[in-house]
Structure 1
Amino acid sequence: MKYSSSILYFICSFFITSSFTEILKAQNIVSTAGDHFKNNTAQLSWTVGEVTIETLSGTSNILTQGFHQTNLIATAINEILDLGFEIKAYPNPTQDYLILKISKDKLNGMQYKLYDMQGKLLHHKLIEESETEISFKDLVPSTYLIKVIEMNKELKTFMIVKQ
């Protein structure tokens, strides 16, 4: 009897310990293939062999089952408006400054906003003249977005490369 209780104790200890080590390895997976790629603007992870995935939604919670738990960021694509006037940004690529040229007589309430690729607002200013010079001297070489806005309505977005 004493011998069988020792064996039972050993078996229970083994399963508890192995279960605990599996919890510690929760971020690992055994699959046939997979990889992870990352650069300055995006990252991609993929895995072959996932049998089932599912996303369940409640009133205040979302549960996602699967190898990859994503951080999904949606970006709206605005429809192209017929403005009746032109908005140009040049030179692109640029080094020190950018000219924003708007062929409209009245620029009431028009402004530009300069963002980095992470969506951080770097600078904004009212547009008071048909040609506005925007300084890029203090910015590191990268890609930036300039949004032209009139009365809280986005008119045009430019992707500007600073060399």
Structure 2
Amino acid sequence: MNRFILTTLLWLYVLYAGTAQDATLFNQVIGSTGHIGVQQGLTYAYTVGEAVIVTVGSDSRTLTQGFHQPEHTRIVSVGDPDFANWDIQVFPNPVSEVLTIRFSADRGTSLTATVVDLVGKAILQNQPLSDPDGSTLDCRSWQPGVYFLILQDPVGRGSSTVRIIRL
């Protein structure tokens, strides 16, 4: 009797497993209405009733979440690509005492500096750097190791991250 029940359950499992469906992701938007159009050579699409999505971007690039996107979207940079033109110099690296940060004065008059260690613990947060010719950070209290210096434009035009080694 037990053998019959075991065999029956095994066959039921095999039959069920053969007809089960896997979850598959594909681009699909469920909304009450929507439209896809072209204006001045640009394609746009929208739906009404789509779940709320987050949009991050700059003047030239936009990144959104959800399935309402082209399949081959490549985001190279979010933020102003001109931030690379700030001509940022960080030296000496590796550093033992004082780190000097220079940036182009014609791009702006200040940056903010945040320093984090490898596990993400903030060592320094939003330190204003207002001298383009050479703002300094005192590194003597930092433990020897690898840190990340995150320089941000206070107006939100971009950011840059530099790896720092503290001797």
Q: TM-score, normalised by structure 1?
A: 0.46
TM-score after normalising by structure 2:
0.45
